[in-house]
């Protein structure tokens, strides 16, 4: 694994192995969401998103006791009518930038993901959760609100289940998280190792295909069906125009692994 960059205080480090990148969160024992943390994470996302050689990203909490335990409550002091300018808008932008990474992303959750931490995981395409780890959006216990998380969670699990988690602020275990569709996989061992294996599988598949698939799935819930289907036609034409599809077909008949180039 090659360390590509670690900005500022090393709160978000980018590691790259082949076509798979990792962003390691490292903001103390709980990986609290602070302004400096968000600044460094945003810089890491910009570097990763601009690398055309990458095919998958894994986001994880490193050796910390939490994947991410949410906002640092100490930063709330003094935030009133200026909260949007000083906190909310920038945090929302970082989450949007994570969601807009052009290739598949995976959150490897080996320790609790709470509040803003679960919002980070929800902004990824896939989530792998270690058995015994709990996740949730407990903001209401403090009178707060998971704004970004409310929207993403509702799209993922439906309004009734999203409202239950938001209204009660309770955490859920791995079994319920999988059953409700909050996570894709649960593992007895390391979520990070499982995510790395999954990322390796994704990286061996057609990179153009996966990028277009991500765009189409995301667009499916954003507008009219006819517009989404029209976008799928355009995407499919671009795939047929690519070298990758014809390399994949040739490899199939030659009974060998395809060598995709992402073009």
Task: Catalytic residue, from 22, 40, 43, 119: name it.
Answer: 119
Looking at the DSSP bridge assignments, the partners of residue 21 are 16, 57
* Type and span of the H or E element at 154: helix 147-157
- List the structure tokens of 228: 């989404």
- Number of residues in the chain: 263
Q: Which CA distances in Å does 178 have to 32, 129, 186? A: 25, 9, 7
Whether 22 is catalytic is no
Report how far residue 199's alpha carbon sits from residue 58's, in angstroms, rounded to the nearest whole number. 7
Give the tokens for residue 168.
Answer: 């009660």
Token pair 């015994």: residue: 132
119 is catalytic: yes
Catalytic residue among 139, 164, 188, 261: 139
Q: Which residues are catalytic?
A: 119, 139
């Amino acid at each position: 694994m090659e360390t590509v960059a670690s900005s500022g205080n090393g709160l978000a480090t980018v590691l790259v192995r082949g076509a798979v990148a990792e962003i390691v969160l490292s903001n103390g024992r709980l990986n609290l969401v602070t302004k400096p943390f968000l600044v460094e994470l945003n810089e890491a996302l910009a570097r990763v998103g601009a690398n055309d050689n990458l095919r998958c990203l894994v986001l994880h909490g490193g050796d910390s006791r939490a994947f991410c335990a949410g906002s640092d409550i100490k930063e709330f002091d003094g935030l009133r009518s200026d909260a949007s300018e000083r906190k909310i808008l920038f945090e929302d932008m970082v989450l949007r930038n994570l969601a807009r990474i052009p290739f598949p992303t995976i959150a490897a959750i080996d320790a609790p993901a709470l509040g803003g931490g679960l919002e980070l995981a929800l902004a990824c395409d896939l989530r792998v959760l270690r058995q015994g780890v709990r996740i949730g959006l407990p903001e209401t216990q403090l009178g707060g609100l998971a704004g970004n998380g409310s929207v993403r969670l509702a799209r993922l699990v439906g309004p009734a289940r999203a409202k239950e988690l938001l209204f009660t602020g309770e955490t859920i275990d791995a079994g319920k998280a999988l059953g409700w569709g909050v996570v894709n996989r649960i593992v007895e061992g390391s979520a990070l190792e499982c995510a790395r294996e999954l990322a390796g599988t994704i990286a061996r598949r057609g990179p153009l295909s996966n990028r277009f698939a991500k765009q189409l799935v995301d667009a499916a819930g954003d507008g009219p069906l006819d517009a989404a289907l029209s976008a799928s036609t355009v995407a499919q034409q671009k795939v047929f125009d690519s070298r990758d599809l014809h390399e994949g077909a040739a490899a199939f008949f030659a009974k060998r692994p395809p060598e995709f180039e992402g073009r």
